[in-house]
Amino acid sequence: GAVVSQHPSWVICKSGTSVKIECRSLDFQATTMFWYRQFPKQSLMLMATSNEGSKATYEQGVEKDKFLINHASLTLSTLTVTSAHPEDSSFYICSASANYGYTFGSGTRLTVV
Amino acid sequence: TQLLEQSPQFLSIQEGENLTVYCNSSSVFSSLQWYRQEPGEGPVLLVTVVTGGEVKKLKRLTFQFGDARKDSSLHITAAQPGDTGLYLCAGARGSGANNLFFGTGTRLTVIP
């Protein structure tokens, strides 16, 4: 089946630094990937749609200059949280569309101290 | 605006009991999916329902899509501790996951 690998699974960074999260489709090509954010005990909220070879589409209220998305190949999308602050601490999840639905990565727990 | 409301939000039951989780909306969806998510992991797809009135069974899990394609339910028979997790419904209003809207979630705990 379709597998999406997300790395790292957790990261702790200092306030003001940047963090990059990778999302890879391992056994299929994904022209489109999606980035979600999930706060504790809450559901997933779509942040942006990542399109291979073009600019990402951001949902309303998501700062594109803060959450940089790059989708340079058909198997890799990256999300960079720039100048991270404690309020950016959250669980970030990527997904990609496969033949039978959407496959999700295992998530990245970001803690900004 | 939250398009999909799930109820109950939290549910704690004894092993062997039955339960039903509801996913309701005022919007029509072309399809609806159910996911289960465990702490620290991404959601895992359980089922996709497409046709209004459709019923799908997956072992002890029964999924139903409302006739008007606005709501869905998940029924678990004889719950087991392994069923513990966050259950999420997600409705699609077209192609592409930018049109995939997640429900508010139901956190299920099955006590041995």
Nearby residues of A108 by Cβ (< 8 Å), 6 or more positions away: A6, A7, A8, A9, A10, A11, A21, A91, A92, A93
> Tens digit of pLDDT for each residue in B58-93?
999 999 999 999 999 999 999 999 999 999 999 887
Mean pLDDT on A52-61: 90
Q: Do A32 and B96 touch (CB under 8 A)?
A: yes
Q: Do B97 and A100 touch (CB under 8 A)?
A: no
> Tens digit of pLDDT for each residue in B17-52?
999 999 999 989 988 999 999 988 999 999 999 999
Name the minimum distance, in Å, from the CA of B3 to any CA of chain A: 12
Residues in A touching B91 (Cβ below 8 Å): none
Residues in A touching B93 (Cβ below 8 Å): none
pLDDT exceeds 70 at position B11: yes
Q: Do B98 and A57 touch (CB under 8 A)?
A: yes
Contact (Cβ atoms closer than 8 angstroms) between residue A45 and residue A36: yes
Name the minimum distance, in Å, from the CA of A29 to any CA of chain B: 15
Amino acid at B76: I
Alpha-carbon B68 to chain mean position: 17
Name the minimum distance, in Å, from the CA of B112 to any CA of chain A: 22
A111 in contact with B at a CB cutoff of 8 Å?
A: no
Q: Do B42 and A46 touch (CB under 8 A)?
A: no
**C-alpha to C-alpha distance for A5 and A25, rounded to whole angstroms:** 6
> Tens digit of pLDDT for each residue in A69-106?
999 888 999 999 999 999 999 999 999 887 667 889 99
B48 vs A45, A101, A103: nearest CB: A101
pLDDT at site A32: 87
